[in-house]
């Protein structure tokens, strides 16, 4: 039963749909199967920050510290294990084992595991934001590896955003001005067919998914990978609130990332508008901060 496991508050959203409730009901047996398969010892309660998986601290039989992830079966994370294997521990947590049938991953545990977001919050604003972006700029070129199949092409993903955006906007009662939707649709249409080299990009790379480690200073976790151009690879950092949520902070990240990583600023801005708007709504919910960011980005256009 679901009550046998502690379900973090951030994961509670899955209860809203029958598929989510079925996934929760299957978790105890899935957890037991993974523990037996890999000889694990679960060493504590689930990590509270996980939003799309049940993530638990564990130890392998030889004492290696790991994280066991039981993924909610969404499309965005279907190739997470493939991305981690592609990086092979270079700038990202190592993949130790994978059971695709159970959507289960065993991943290197980052110690001490403090997120870049937490460190940014603890420091003085300007200094913390700079430290955070310094770390990200150092990581990104190492993660942008040329790839193709099985990763979903960015063009294909963008086509889905364009199809869903106006439908969700109408279904949710037109919660913000139509010009934001139209701007996103226009930018996505302009960008998809004129991309540069296709590399491994992560559409959920933000400061909460970059952890302090001992093997390297910082390691990326929880990728939601696509195959797309480098200009798309910085949009999650630009739109995310973790390193400051204001028009000035968004502009500063856009300018610095495009300058120091030698990216086409107009293409980055276009992808940021399209992706931020695409991630502003689910089937039944509107998120206000991406809507604000889209307005700020349009002011930079």
Catalytic positions, please?
A: 204
Q: What is the 3-state secondary structure (H, E, C) of the chain?
A: CHHHCCCCHHHHHHHHCHHHHHHHHHHHHHHHHHHHHHCCEECCCCCCCCCCEEEEEEECCCCCEEEEEEECCCCCCCCHHHHHHHHCCCCECCEEEEEHHHCEEEEECCCCCCEHHHHHHHCCHHHHHHHHHHHHHHHHHHHCCECCCCCCEHHHHHHHHHHHHHHHHHHCCCCCCHHHHHHHHHHHHHHHHHCCCCEEEECCCCHHHEEECCCCCEEECCCCEEEECHHHHHHHHHHCCCCCCCHHHHHHHHHHHHHHCCCCHHHHHHHHHHHHHHCCECCCCECHHHHHHHHHHHHHC
Q: Which of 46, 53, 93 is nearest to 220 (CA)?
A: 93
């Amino acid at each position: 039963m679901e009550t046998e496991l502690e379900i973090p508050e951030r994961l509670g959203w899955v209860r809203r749909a029958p598929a989510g409730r079925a996934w929760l009901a299957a978790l105890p047996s899935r957890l037991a199967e993974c523990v037996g398969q890999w000889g694990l010892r679960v060493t504590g309660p689930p990590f509270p920050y996980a939003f799309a998986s049940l993530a638990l601290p564990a130890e392998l039989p030889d004492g290696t510290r790991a994280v066991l992830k039981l993924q909610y079966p969404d499309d965005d994370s279907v190739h997470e294990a493939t991305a981690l294997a592609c990086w092979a521990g270079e700038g990202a947590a190592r993949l130790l084992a994978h059971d695709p049938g159970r959507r289960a991953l065993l991943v290197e545990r980052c110690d001490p595991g403090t997120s870049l977001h937490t460190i940014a919050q603890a420091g003085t604003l300007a200094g913390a934001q700079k430290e955070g972006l310094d770390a990200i700029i150092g990581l990104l070129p190492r993660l942008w590896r040329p790839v193709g199949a099985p990763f979903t092409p960015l063009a294909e993903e963008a086509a889905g955003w364009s199809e869903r955006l106006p439908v969700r906007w109408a279904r949710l009662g037109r919660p913000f001005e139509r010009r934001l939707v139209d701007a996103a649709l226009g930018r996505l249409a302009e960008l998809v067919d004129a991309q540069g080299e296709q590399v491994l990009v992560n559409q959920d790379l933000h400061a909460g998914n970059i952890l302090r480690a001992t093997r390297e200073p910082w390691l990326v976790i929880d990728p939601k990978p696509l195959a797309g151009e480098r200009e798309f690879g910085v949009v999650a950092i630009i739109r995310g609130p973790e390193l400051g949520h204001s028009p000035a902070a968004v502009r500063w990240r856009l300018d610095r990332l495009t300058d120091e990583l030698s990216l086409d600023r107009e293409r980055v801005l276009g992808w940021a508008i399209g992706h931020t708007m695409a991630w502003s709504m689910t089937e039944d919910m509107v998120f206000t901060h991406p809507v604000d960011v889209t307005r700020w980005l349009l002011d930079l256009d």
